[in-house]
Homo-oligomer: A and B are copies of this chain.
Amino acid sequence: MSLTDAQRAEIAAHAQETSSTRRPTVPALEAMLYEPQEVLDHGFLRVIDYMGDDSAIVQAARVSYGRGTRKVSEDAGLIRYLMRHRHSSPFEMCEMKFHVKLPIFVARQWIRHRMASVNEYSARYSILDSEFYIPAPDHMAAQSAVNRQGRGDVLAPDDAAAVMDILRDDAIRTYRNYETMLSTEEDGYGLARELARINLTVNTYTQWYWKIDLHNLMHFLALRLDPHAQYEIRVYAEAMLKILHAWVPQTAAAFEDYRRGAVTFSAGMLKIVRRMLAGEQVEQAGSGLSKREWDEMMAVLKG
């Protein structure tokens, strides 16, 4: 991770200030606050602020006057109920703000989640650092033969090394030219920042502040933890998932059960499962499902 000493010092200073508050507070999360988790070769993700906890969800769902006197187990039961029946508004009552450093091509996927707030580092206003993502050899994969938007086998070591060289060389060259175009020295051109940056490759790192409520965060996670999500965004989702468990453990447990590990059966699939449970031998041919759907379902049923 490419944090300068000055940045580390700034983070450390920030982390030392403590205050007394009457707001819901989560000690396990306080311990992680501001601390960057490394992601990819130069990226990171850190929590800047949060609002709410498991109890805040319960309190909002009950529109209550205080924290109430119910047992923890009752609260957990209500959270499971809300998750199972896809109630969204109580989960919207919690909020998290992250500082993320990520490659531009990951940022482009990420921003598709519109129900969030973003402040991105501006390359019109400032100069980007010379940092770009190069996949590690064990993630340098061939195009999948079966999935048009997926990866297949990892490249042979020599090929992986050759590809890494290409990516690194091009990133360095385009960045040097970016610097040359910006430079107001004799051999530079003094080009406007907003133009010079168009020469950078999409694996260049950018960074942003990103704020999202818990409902939408879980929606993001459900999509981006999926094995079909691109690896380079999935690793950010995995870093967030750890934070989720520290922040709202009951909600995170319900999320694992009812979202992440859950599977939706269509009306057609459900009929087949019922026939199977009744002891019938069902084949794809007479199932009413396409070959693809049949295979997807059987993979799920076999676990």
Do A273 and B270 have beta carbons less than 8 Å apart? no
Q: How far is the CA of A149 from the CA of B122 in the complex (A)?
A: 9
Do A21 and B11 have beta carbons less than 8 Å apart? no
What are the residues of chain B within 8 A of A59 when measuring CB–CB?
48, 209
Contact of A125 (CB < 8 Å), options: B149, B151, B201, B207: B149
Do B22 and A23 have beta carbons less than 8 Å apart? no
Q: Which residue of B lies closest to A85 (CB)?
A: B228
What are the residues of chain B within 8 A of A260 when measuring CB–CB?
267
What are the residues of chain B within 8 A of A258 when measuring CB–CB?
264, 266-267
Report if A193-B143 is in contact (Cβ < 8 Å); known contacts: A19-B25, A49-B23, A273-B301.
yes
Do A182 and B143 have beta carbons less than 8 Å apart? yes
What are the residues of chain B within 8 A of A10 when measuring CB–CB?
64-68
Contact of A105 (CB < 8 Å), options: B198, B257, B277: B198
Do A191 and B163 have beta carbons less than 8 Å apart? yes
Do B262 and A262 have beta carbons less than 8 Å apart? no
Q: Is A34 an interface residue when CB atoms closer than 8 A count as contact? A: yes
Q: How far is the CA of A159 from the CA of B230 in the complex (A)?
A: 41
Contact of A192 (CB < 8 Å), options: B111, B150, B195: B150
Do A18 and B22 have beta carbons less than 8 Å apart? yes
Interface residues as binary, A171-194 with B (CB distance below 8 Å gives 1, 0 otherwise): 101100100111010000111111
Do A300 and B155 have beta carbons less than 8 Å apart? no
Shortest Cβ distance from residue A206 to the other chain B in the assembled complex, whole angstroms: 9
Of residues 262 through 297 on chain A, the ones whose CB sits less than 8 Å from some CB of chain B are 262-268, 270-271, 273-274, 276-277, 290, 293
Contact of A209 (CB < 8 Å), options: B63, B195, B257: B63
Q: Is A227 an interface residue when CB atoms closer than 8 A count as contact? A: no
Do B25 and A21 have beta carbons less than 8 Å apart? yes
Shortest Cβ distance from residue A222 to the other chain B in the assembled complex, whole angstroms: 9
Do A33 and B23 have beta carbons less than 8 Å apart? yes
Q: How far is the CA of A120 from the CA of B112 in the complex (A)?
A: 10
Contact of A117 (CB < 8 Å), options: B89, B135, B273: B89
Do B142 and A119 have beta carbons less than 8 Å apart? no
Q: Is A97 an interface residue when CB atoms closer than 8 A count as contact? A: yes
Do A22 and B17 have beta carbons less than 8 Å apart? yes
Q: Is A15 an interface residue when CB atoms closer than 8 A count as contact? A: yes
User: Could you show 28 A-B contacts with beta carbons less than 8 Å apart?
Assistant: A10-B68, A14-B67, A23-B49, A49-B51, A49-B56, A51-B95, A61-B119, A63-B207, A63-B208, A84-B266, A93-B97, A104-B202, A105-B198, A124-B149, A143-B182, A155-B191, A166-B181, A170-B199, A171-B199, A198-B202, A200-B202, A260-B267, A261-B267, A263-B270, A264-B264, A265-B265, A274-B302, A277-B301
- Closest CB pairs A-B (n = 10): A261-B267, A10-B66, A19-B25, A92-B117, A14-B66, A198-B203, A114-B114, A124-B149, A51-B51, A125-B149
